[in-house]
Structure 1
Amino acid sequence: MEKTLSVQGMSCGHCKMSVEGALKDLDGVSAAEVNLEAGSVDVTYDSEKVTVDAMIDAIEEQGYEVS
C-alpha cells in the first residue's frame, strides 16, 4: 500500500534523512520518500505488518508534527 503523510517542520537534508530513516526502520515499510517542498512523505508499506499510527509515531519521535 502507499500513503502520503503531511509533516511539518522538515526543512533540510538532515530532516529528510531522519524521517526516512525512522520509517525505514519499521518492519513492513519498504520505501519512504520525503518531499521537502511539499512538506510530505510518501510511504510504501505492508498494511499487515505496520499501521499508519506506527508510522506517525515514528515521525513524531523524530520531533516532527504529522497532520
Structure 2
Amino acid sequence: MATSEYQVTGMTCGHCEMSVRGEVSRLPGVEQVDVSAATGRLVVRGAAVPDEAAILAAVDEAGYEAARVS
C-alpha cells in the first residue's frame, strides 16, 4: 500500500479532523485516511500513491492548507 504524508495547518479539534478526513476519503484510490489535529499530520494510503494535487485541493475544500511531508 502506498502512503503519502502531509502537514496540515489550522486544525484545532476533532471537527477539523472529521472535515479533512471526509473530503480526502472521497478521492479515488484513497483507502485509508489518518488525521490528527494535535500533530497536524495527515496520512493517506491507497493501492497507488494518491494524487497529490487532488489531496491538497480536498484539504483546501475542508478549509485548511497542507504541504506534503513524504
The corresponding residue for 2:20 is 19
How many positions carry a matched residue from both structures? 66
Deviations along 1:11-62, one digit per CA (max 9) or x if unpaired, are 11110000001011111100101122211111102437x4111011000111
TM-score (normalizing by structure 2): 0.85
Quote the RMSD (CA, aligned, Å). Answer: 1.3
- Aligned match of 1:57: 57
- Can you give the 5+ residue segments of structure 1 that lack an aligned partner in the other structure? none
Q: Normalization by structure 1: what TM-score?
A: 0.88
**CA–CA distance in 2 between the matches of 1:2 and 1:64?**
20
Provide structure 2 residue ranges, at least 5 long, that are not aligned to the other structure.
Answer: none
Alpha-carbon distance in structure 1 between the residues aligned to 2:64 and 2:13: 13
Poorly superposed stretches of 4+, deviation over 4 Å: none
